[in-house]
Amino acid sequence: QVQLVESGGGLVQAGGSLRLSCAASGRTFSINDMRWYRQAPGKQRELVAAITNDGNTNYVDSVKGRFTISRDGAKNTVYLQMNSLKSEDTAVYYCRYTVMGYVYWGQGTQVTVSS
């Protein structure tokens, strides 16, 4: 089993920054990839950013140039640095790890951007 604990959400004004963290514990060997998703009220959950075990990254178009995903392998932690935040970034953000083919989700952290 793998446990994921997220932190870093909150309320920020438009144009501001936040950094989300997601720390994994438990059977964390062979992490395949780490992702951040978000879900806004009334909308489907969408993939925001992903990073593979060898460091390759992908982003949804709406956050390219503003968000950066990174990982600390020694700490089994993935980060999402969010800059130039917009009101449309308001959502619950979830991290997701794939470990040996199994998918684990964090509990979610609220990000609210006020305009």
Per-residue confidence (pLDDT) for residue 72, from 0 to 100: 92
List, for residues 41-100, the tens digit of each pLDDT value.
Answer: 999 999 999 999 889 999 999 999 999 999 998 899 999 999 999 999 999 999 999 988
Q: Mind listing the pLDDT tens digit for each residue in 1-56? A: 899 999 999 999 999 999 999 999 888 777 888 999 999 999 999 999 999 988 99
Which tens digit of pLDDT belongs to each residue from 96-113? 999 888 999 999 999 999
Region class of 28: left (phi > 0), else alpha (psi between -120 and 50), else beta:
alpha
Give residue 10's pLDDT.
97
Give the distance from CA 89 to its chain's centroid: 12
29/71 Cα distance (integer angstroms): 14
pLDDT, position 1: 86
CA separation, residue 40 to residues 44, 62, 72, 87 (Å): 7, 14, 27, 11
Whole-number CA gyration radius for the chain:
13
